[in-house]
Structure 1
Amino acid sequence: MEIVYQQEQDLTVKDFTELLISSTLGERRPVNEPERIEEMLRHANLTVTARHNGKLVGVSRSLTDWVYATYLSDLAVHIEYQHKGIGKELIRRTKMLAPKSNVILLSAPAAVDYYPKIGMTHHAHAFWLRDLKELK
């Protein structure tokens, strides 16, 4: 099975949404808000895709300054293509495109055990602010 990896800046809302749903990330992403998905894609400045026969089967969508921090905000692999090294390769290619930068991500609960297996370090000092009302 040949998977083609590439940096893409014009990923469509339809392709991205379908991949999120088929990867099980759809339950934690605004897949029913196409305008929001469009903004997510537009503001990402490093998107790496994996395609099989032209079909989008994986994506790494990041925001980066290229030299210090790369926030990998979405790592999604179609459920039928999981456990084939595609996610790891998407992370590797993301890091290759911003080699001086640290790749940082928030894991989905089901993937917490995956990242250490591929060599990523768990960091216990991450924090999350979802809503400004929570700030005291």
Structure 2
Amino acid sequence: MAENSRILYAHEPALDVAEFRRVLVESGLGETRPVDDEARLRAMLSGANLVLTARLDVAGKPVVGVIRAMTDFSWVCYISELAVSQSAQGLGIGKGLMAEARRRLGPSVAISLISMPDAVGFYERIGMKRMADAFWFSRKR
């Protein structure tokens, strides 16, 4: 665990699905994620091998930020979600979660993600390079 002033960052591989859902909804990502499908949210969490959380003040407080990612811990990490509750936005939690991911992965692991359109500026501000060559097969549901 790494602490940054009032924010506690931790690896939580067994994050409670209700907490995950709440942060998705509170961040605005609930509009683009299956937040009403608990089984699918549970599968999303269990399929990730890197789940980082941010909590204000001390352990035991509600999660206010989450990164859910898949990585080989050697070459690349794909971040599926970076979500921060709107009440905690502007406190540096998104940037802190990304820094924690980079710290845990080390300098030899690249990080990639697909940004929501209104978050592009955030990723550019924290130094991520925009890539033009991304491809996508849409899901059916």
Quickly name the TM-score band, shorter chain normalised.
over 0.9
Alignment of 1:110-125 (within 5 A): 110-125=118-133
Q: Does 2:70 match 1:63?
A: yes
Q: Does 2:62 match 1:48?
A: no
**Aligned residue type for 1:15:** E
**Aligned residue type for 1:119:** G
Distance in 1 (CA, whole Å) between partners of 2:47 and 2:40 is 11
Q: TM-score, normalised by structure 1?
A: 0.93
Distance in 1 (CA, whole Å) between partners of 2:97 and 2:10 is 9
Partner residue, 1:85: 92
Partner residue, 2:134: 126
Partner residue, 1:29: 33
Q: How far 1:131 moved relative to its partner?
A: 3.8
Which one of 8, 13, 16 corresponds to residue 17 of structure 2? Answer: 13
Distance in 1 (CA, whole Å) between partners of 2:96 and 2:56 is 14
Q: How many residues align?
A: 132
Distance in 1 (CA, whole Å) between partners of 2:38 and 2:139 is 21
Q: TM-score, normalised by structure 2?
A: 0.90
Detail structure 1 runs of 4+ shifted over 6 Å in the superposition: none
Structure 2: unaligned runs, 5 residues or longer? none
Alignment of 1:98-117 (within 5 A): 98-99=105-106, 100-117=108-125
Distance in 1 (CA, whole Å) between partners of 2:98 and 2:139 is 28
Q: How far 1:124 moved relative to its partner?
A: 0.4
